[in-house]
Amino acid sequence: MPLDSLIILQEGTRLKIEKTAVAGTMESSDIMVTLSPGSVGGIEIELESSVEKQFGNAIRSTIQDVLTELDVKNAHVKALDKGALDCTVRARVKTAAYRACNCDSYQFGGQN
Amino acid sequence: MSLELSSIPHLEEFCALGGSYSDEQNLQPKDVRTLAERSLHSKKLVNDLDEAIRLSGLRDGMTISFHHHFRGGDYIINMVMAKLAEMGFKDLVLAASSLTDCHFPLMDHIKSGVIRRIETSGLRGKLADAISHGLMDIPVVFRSHGGRAYAIESGELAIDVAFLGAPSCDAFGNANGYSREGDTGIMCGSMGYAKQDAEYAKKVIIITNNLVPYPNAPFGIPESNVDYVVQVPEIGNPAGIMSGATRFTKNPKELLIAEYAAKVIENSGHFYDGFSMQMGSGGASLATIRFLREDMIKQNIKVGFALGGITGSVVELLEEGLVRKILDVQSFDLRAAESLKNNRFHQQISASYYASPSNPGTAVNQLDVVVLSALEVDTGFNVNVLTGSDGVIRGAIGGHPDTAAGASVSIVVAPLTRGRIPTIVNHVNTIVTPGRSIDVVVTDQGIAVNPARPDLKDRLIAARLPVCSIDELRSKAEKIVGKADPILYTDKVVGIVTYRDNSIIDLIYEVKE
C-alpha cells in the first residue's frame, strides 16, 4: 500500500464527494451504487431492492455504515440492488465513494 | 318370433332383461351412411364454443375445469373465460389442474364476478401477485396433483363442465396430446390431468384445432368420456407449450448438488437393478440423471420405471435401454412428447394413477427414489414450493407432497442460498410438504438427513458424503446472507393449502406492503 494513502487517512482528511460516480452492475447478486454530492446535507439513501422486504433495512444500514467509516458526511446514494450479499454492498459503496471523491488511494482490506 | 320367458329358470335373478326382442321396438333406423359422412355429422361435433356451452347446461355458480398441459402457451382458459363472460355467466368456480403467467386476464373475470373462486395447483405472474395482495374475497384452494385427483374421486371437487384443449381429436371425442394422423405443429404429449377431469366431469367439451379421422388411436381420452367436440383455429402457442431440448446446466453449484444427489441415490440402499425413480425438471435434477447414468452403466443397473413429469433426459435413458418403462402424467418437453407417441413402453397415465391417495397401488407408492426441488426448507424438513421469500405466491404444489410421501427415499435438492435469499430457514413461509415425508436435503454446502431416517444417515456417512445437521445448514446460510426481516402479512387469508388427503396443511395470508 503506498505510503501517502495511509497519511491521508491518518490525518483524517475528509472524503469530499466532488462528482457523481458509479460502482457495481445490475447483474443478479450485485448492487449498482451511484453516489452524488448531497443537496440537503447528510446522507440520503434511495434504495430499490429485489429483497427489500427481507433485507432492505440491512442494506440501508450497511450503506450508512460504510460512508460513516469513510467519514463521508454529505451525499446522495442511489442503490439498485439485485440481492447482493453484505460484502458486495460494502465493496460497491466504498468504490463509488472513492471514485466520487476522485481518490484512487484505495484502502483495501478490513473495515478500517 | 315368440319366446317363452317364463321357462327361464330363476327368472327373478334377471331383473334387467328387456323382455322379448321385437323389430317394432327397435325404432332406430340403420345408419347406412359412410364413415366419412357419419364423422362429418357426428352429434358430438358442435359448431362453436357458444353452442357447446349452451348444450352443456352450464349455469351460474357451477364448477368448470381446465388442464395445464399447454403450460405457458395455453389459449383455452382465456378463450373460454372470455366467452363465458360475454355470455353473461357469474359466480363460477374455476378448478384448473394449474395456472401459469399467461392466465393474468382472469383478473378481469374475478373483478367482474364471472369467477367466484379458484382451485389450482399453483399460480404465477401478475395473477398470483394480485391474489397475494387480496384480489379475491374467497381464498384460492391449492391442491397437489394427487390431492386434486382424490378430491375429484371423493366428490369434494365435483366438476360440472370440463373444457379440455386437445392437440388432436376425432368427431366422436377420442382425444390426445399428439396424433398419428399428422399434427398441426402443436403437441403436448401426455394428457394425464385432463384424463382425470374427462372421466369424472358431468359434461366434457374437447376443444381442438386438429380434427382427425376416427379413430384417433392411441387416445389419451376415450370418446366414452366426451360429450362435445369443438374445432377452433388455435388452441395454444407451441413455443409456450413445449420447450425444445432442455440444455444441460453449466452452473457449478447445480452440478455439485447433482453429483451429491447421485451419490445419495447410489448409497441409499435403493440403487439396484429394477429400481424406480422420479426426477424433477430443474437443472440439478436433470444433471443428477447424467451422473447417475455413468454408475448405472458401470454397475449394470437399470431403472424399472421412471415416473412423473417426463423430460428428454429420462427419454434418453429409455432409448439407451437404461430405463425399462416410463409412466408419464405430463410431458415436459418435445422429446418426451415424441417418445410417448413413438415408444410403446412410454405409457400415458392419469393423475389418479399417478398420485391419488385413494388408490393404494398408485404409482408414487411404487417409487424407490424421488428428487424434488424447493424454494425453502426449514429445520423441521418442511418444504415450501408455493410462496416466494417475499411471501407472494409464485409456484405450484405439483406432485411434490405426493411423491415425497410415496417414495422410499425422497431427496430435496436446492442451493443453500439463491443470491441473498436463504433456502434453509427456521420456518418456511408456507408448508406444502410436511417434513416427515422428506428424507434427505442436498445442498451445495452439505447434506442433511431427517433424524427419522438414521439408517440413511449411516449409509451416507459410510459413503463419506458431507453429512451435517439441518440446523448447521441453516446457520451456514444465515452467516452468508445475514438475518432476514420477517415478512408482514394482514389477517386476510388468500390461499388454503391442502395436503393430498384434502386436509388443510397451511394458510397463505395477504402480503402487507
> For B216-262, what is each residue's pLDDT tens digit?
999 999 999 999 999 999 999 988 888 765 667 899 999 999 999 99
* In contact, B393 and B387? CB cutoff 8 Å: yes
Same-domain status, B383 and B333: yes
Q: Is B391 on the interface with A (CB under 8 A)?
A: yes
Q: Looking at residue A3, what is its pLDDT?
A: 37
Same-domain status, B342 and B226: no
How far does the CA of residue A91 sit from the closest CA of chain B (Å)? 15
Of B187, B221, B241, the one marking the end of a domain is B241
CB contact under 8 A, A54 and B419: no
Q: Which residues of B touch A27 (CB under 8 A)?
A: none
User: Which pLDDT band holds residue A2 (cuts at 50, 70, 90)?
Assistant: very low
Q: Looking at residue A112, what is its pLDDT?
A: 44
User: B356 is written with which cell numbers?
Assistant: 391419488
Same-domain status, B316 and B414: yes
* In contact, B476 and B415? CB cutoff 8 Å: no
Which residue's C-alpha cell is 456417512? B461
- If phi > 0 it is left, if psi is from -120 to 50 it is alpha, else beta; for residue A91 that is alpha
CB contact under 8 A, A85 and B481: yes
Same-domain status, B378 and B413: yes
The ipTM is 0.82
CB contact under 8 A, A55 and B390: no
Query: Chain A to chain B, count of Cβ pairs less than 8 Å apart?
Result: 44
CB contact under 8 A, A86 and B482: yes
Which residue, among A54, A57, A82, A90, would best test binding to B if mutated, counting the most B CBs under 10 Å from its CB?
A54
Which residue, among B420, B429, B488, would best test binding to A if mutated, counting the most A CBs under 10 Å from its CB?
B420
Average pLDDT over residues B146-158: 97
How far does the CA of residue B115 sit from the closest CA of chain A (Å)? 31
CB contact under 8 A, B419 and A53: no
Q: B316 or A109: which carries more pLDDT confidence?
A: B316
Which residue's C-alpha cell is 400415458? B348
Number of independent structural domains in chain B: 2
Q: Looking at residue A38, what is its pLDDT?
A: 83
Same-domain status, B438 and B289: yes
Residue B369 clears pLDDT 70, i.e. is over it: yes
Q: B240 or A47: which carries more pLDDT confidence?
A: A47
Span A75-90, pLDDT tens digits: 999 999 999 999 999 9
**Buried/exposed code over A44-71 (b: 16+ C-beta within 10 A; e: otherwise):** ebebebbbebbbeebbbebbeebbeebe
Q: Looking at residue B244, what is its pLDDT?
A: 60
Q: Is B456 exposed, middle or buried (0-12, 13-18, 19+ CB in 10 A)?
A: buried
Q: Give percent above pLDDT 70 in chain B.
A: 98
* In contact, B122 and B98? CB cutoff 8 Å: yes
The answer to the question of residue B380 being in a domain is yes
Cα B411 from Cα B306, distance rounded (Å): 15
Of B209, B241, B273, the one marking the end of a domain is B241
User: B254 is written with which cell numbers?
Assistant: 447445480
Average pLDDT over residues A33-61: 93
Please state, rounded to an integer, the average pLDDT across all residues of chain B: 95
Write the DSSP string, A2-66: -HHHHHHHHTTPPP---S-EEE--SSTT-EEEEEEE-SSSSEEEEEEETTHHHHHHHHHHHHHHH
Of B124-128, B154-158, B175-179, B278-282, the least confident: B278-282
Q: Is B482 on the interface with A (CB under 8 A)?
A: yes
Q: Which residues of A touch B480 (CB under 8 A)?
A: 85
Q: Which residues of B touch A26 (CB under 8 A)?
A: none
Same-domain status, B447 and B477: yes
Span B376-434, pLDDT tens digits: 999 999 999 999 999 999 999 999 999 999 999 999 999 999 999 999 999 999 999 99
Q: Looking at residue A12, what is its pLDDT?
A: 52
Q: Looking at residue A14, what is its pLDDT?
A: 64
Q: Looking at residue B180, what is its pLDDT?
A: 86
CB contact under 8 A, A55 and B485: yes
Q: Is A3 exposed, middle or buried (0-12, 13-18, 19+ CB in 10 A)?
A: exposed
Helices (H), B155-245: 192-200, 238-241
Q: Which residues of A touch B487 (CB under 8 A)?
A: 53-54
Residue A7 clears pLDDT 50, i.e. is over it: no
* In contact, B206 and B158? CB cutoff 8 Å: no
The answer to the question of residue B440 being in a domain is yes
The answer to the question of residue B16 being in a domain is no
Domain span including residue B420 = 252-486
Residue type, A102: N
Residue B317 clears pLDDT 70, i.e. is over it: yes
Q: Looking at residue A8, what is its pLDDT?
A: 43
The answer to the question of residue B4 being in a domain is no
Same-domain status, B189 and B285: no
Same-domain status, B300 and B402: yes
Span B184-215, pLDDT tens digits: 789 999 999 999 999 999 999 999 999 999 99
Q: B159 or A18: which carries more pLDDT confidence?
A: B159
Is the C-alpha dihedral spanning B306, B312, B317, B319 positive or negative?
positive
Average pLDDT over residues B87-115: 98
Of A91-95, B27-31, B133-137, B272-276, the least confident: B27-31
Nearest CB partner across the interface for B484, out of A54, A84, A86: A54
The answer to the question of residue B12 being in a domain is no
Residue A105 clears pLDDT 90, i.e. is over it: no
Q: Is B427 on the interface with A (CB under 8 A)?
A: no
Same-domain status, B260 and B226: no
User: Which pLDDT band holds residue B346 (cuts at 50, 70, 90)?
Assistant: very high
Same-domain status, B223 and B271: no
Q: Residue B373 CA to chain centroid, in angstroms?
A: 15
Q: With a CB-CB cutoff of 8 Å, which residues 396-415 of chain B face chain A?
A: none
Q: Looking at residue A1, what is its pLDDT?
A: 36
Of A39-53, B112-126, B243-257, B356-370, the least confident: B243-257
User: Which pLDDT band holds residue B157 (cuts at 50, 70, 90)?
Assistant: very high
Which residue, among A31, A51, A89, would best test binding to B if mutated, counting the most B CBs under 10 Å from its CB?
A51
Q: Is B70 exposed, middle or buried (0-12, 13-18, 19+ CB in 10 A)?
A: buried
CATH code, domain carrying B462: 3.40.1080.10
Span B47-63, pLDDT tens digits: 999 999 999 999 999 99
Of A5-9, B306-310, B462-466, the least confident: A5-9
Same-domain status, B134 and B260: no
Same-domain status, B180 and B228: yes
The answer to the question of residue B70 being in a domain is yes
CB contact under 8 A, B420 and A57: no
User: Which pLDDT band holds residue B106 (cuts at 50, 70, 90)?
Assistant: very high
Would you give the DSSP letter of residue B393?
B
Of B214, B241, B268, the one marking the end of a domain is B241
The answer to the question of residue B31 being in a domain is no
The answer to the question of residue B260 being in a domain is yes
